[in-house]
Structure 1
Amino acid sequence: MLKFQLLGAIGASSERGELQVSGTLQSSLLAALLVAEGSPVSRDALIDEMWGSEPPDAVENAVQAHVSRLRRKLAALEDDPDRSRLITQHVGYRLVLDEGSLDVTVFMEEYERIKSIGSSPDGTAKEIRHVLKMWRGPIYGGTAVGQSCQAAAARFEETRLALLELLFDCDLENFEHRRIIPELQTLLVEHPYNERFRQQLMVALYRCGRQTDALNVYRELHGKLSEELGLSPSPVMRDYERAVLEQDPCLHVKSTVQRAAASHRGERHLMPAGR
């Protein structure tokens, strides 16, 4: 079966070899067809993805030439090279995909499955780490792509972050707080405003006896939001700061702090981790 990749360098492979994608235009073309996940893509949409607002003269001929080149390369990887999966339609072009042949589709489906199975934290954590191995680098391998592919990339990245949040909730439930501290610190360099990662890091640090470091995680966010955006941390973040300041014993057993305002008695409660 011919398999396609977007979670890393754009490409395709089969038992016959690997697709050699040459140049940004060919990469953008293949990415746009793959992001459509088997649906037709109009010629105008492909032009926007490949050239943006500066298409060349005779751009429709250029699109046809790039499609023909890609079609020949894909045919070389097929068992039946005379039967092309890159189909010309009146609205544009469609790349026929076999079930399970596109890595990002499998990635998104696995996320939905993991959310719904409700297995133990240990089992869920193992499954998430297995799925995350599919993420082999920057989406599209860092290739410059058009707006449609950029929007899809944002959706894929959002799913990856949601998986990581769920993973760290499971790890905290399994008392793996020491292991996740370096991972969370690295992620916060890339995503400094992600409050869930900060909350999880605060809990992990607190459990290691590092109360001051846990508070500094909150204070760093407060400083960034105030100086760069003129904002303040959310009420939920303030609840985490308060829990650490008060040395709430429940921080040692659960990972998610419920807002104290929900209790008429002013008592703090904790909810089980998970989504």
Structure 2
Amino acid sequence: MEVIDDGVRIRVPGEKLRSILAALSLSVGRSVSRDELIDELWGEEPPNSAKNSLHGHIARLRRVLVAHGGKATLRNVIQTSPTGYILDLPEENIDASRLFQLVFRADATSASSPQEAVDLLNEAVSLWCGPALIDAGNGMICQVAYTQLEEVRLGAYERLFDLRLRLEHPRAVIPGLDQLHARYPLHERFCEQLITALYLAGRQADALNTYHRTREYLSQHLGLQPGNGLRDTFQDILRQAPHLTKQY
């Protein structure tokens, strides 16, 4: 987790402080109840002093923002509500919110302005600097958010490379797809896109070999065969289906 104010990076020490800030950031502008925050910090077995401890953590978090950011007004970023606490910032100041907004805008413009959609998706995936919320504890809010954010990220990459395959020469997108497929070997859509790019670049043998390696990997690690989408693309490549070149 990272906080930046006017170019100044603010380190938030302590997992519990980061957990609180993460939970508030994921509901930016809306109140997160004290009970939700207590569950996030201590799970099903909170201490008897949980409410007082939460109040103390909030006070410490405000002090950290002021001390490390050098502005007394930063304490007002965390507001107290009748039921809990609110992170009082615009949504666009939170990377997670920006990610959703950028992907939504890309989807809305992909048909009419594919290059604009590519730019938006590139901006979306560039927000990532590692696994989301990895240092913000194991509370349910952060765990659910991690899963959701990872799904949106992978979906953004899928959309991005679909568009790039339509706009660029297939050879240009092969390195990026190769890296994604190596990093996520169980994510079949990346393999499907990669073998399509290889085929369109005149590398049919490499496309078929990539498919067979993926099929073996899925069988060994999951005991499964490739899904319909990947199998259909493989068959299209085998028979050199005309629609592949027309589609891209």
Q: Which residue of 1 aligns with 2:235?
A: 242
Query: What's the CA shift string for 1:188-247, capped at 9, x where partnerless?
Result: 233222222111101111122221221123223322333333332222222111111112
Superposed displacement of residue 75, structure 1:
4.3
Which residue of the other structure, out of 220, 234, 238, is the alignment partner of 2:213?
220
Query: TM-score, normalized by length of structure 1?
Result: 0.79
Which structure dedicates a bigger proportion of its chain to helix?
Answer: 2
Q: How many matched pairs?
A: 246
* Contact 1:188–1:197 (CA under 8 A) maintained in structure 2: yes
Instruction: Tell me, in whole angstroms, the C-alpha distance in 2 between the residues paired with 1:154 and 1:199.
Output: 23
Classify the secondary structure of the residue corresponding to 2:85.
Answer: strand
Specify the SS of the correspondent of 2:133: helix
> What's the C-alpha RMSD, in Å, of the aligned pairs?
2.5
* Cα distance in structure 2, aligned partners of 1:15 and 1:246: 57
Which range moves more in the overlay, 231-240 or 121-130?
Answer: 121-130
SS, match of residue 139 in structure 1? coil
For 1:110 and 1:133, locate their aligned partners in 2 and report how far apart those are by CA, in whole Å. Answer: 11
How far apart, CA to CA, are the structure 1 residues paired with 2:49 and 2:188? 49
**Cα distance in 2 for residues equivalent to 1:162 and 1:89:** 36
In terms of mean alpha carbon deviation, does 114-123 or 239-248 score higher?
Answer: 114-123
TM-score, with structure 2 as normaliser: 0.87
- Pick aligned residue for 1:170 from 157, 163, 181: 163
Task: State the match for 1:50 in structure 2.
Answer: 41
Letter in 1 for 2:191: R
Query: 2:97 maps to which residue?
Result: 105
Q: CA deviation at 1:109?
A: 0.8
Q: Does 1:183 align with 2:201?
A: no
- Give me the whole-angstrom Cα distance separating, in 2, the residues matched to 1:209 and 1:98: 48
Alignment check: 8 A CA contact 1:75 1:84 kept: no
Q: 1:115 aligns with which of 75, 82, 107?
A: 107
Q: Report the secondary structure of 1:213's partner residue.
A: helix
Q: Percent identity?
A: 37
Give unmatched runs, 5+ long, in structure 1.
Answer: 1-9, 256-275
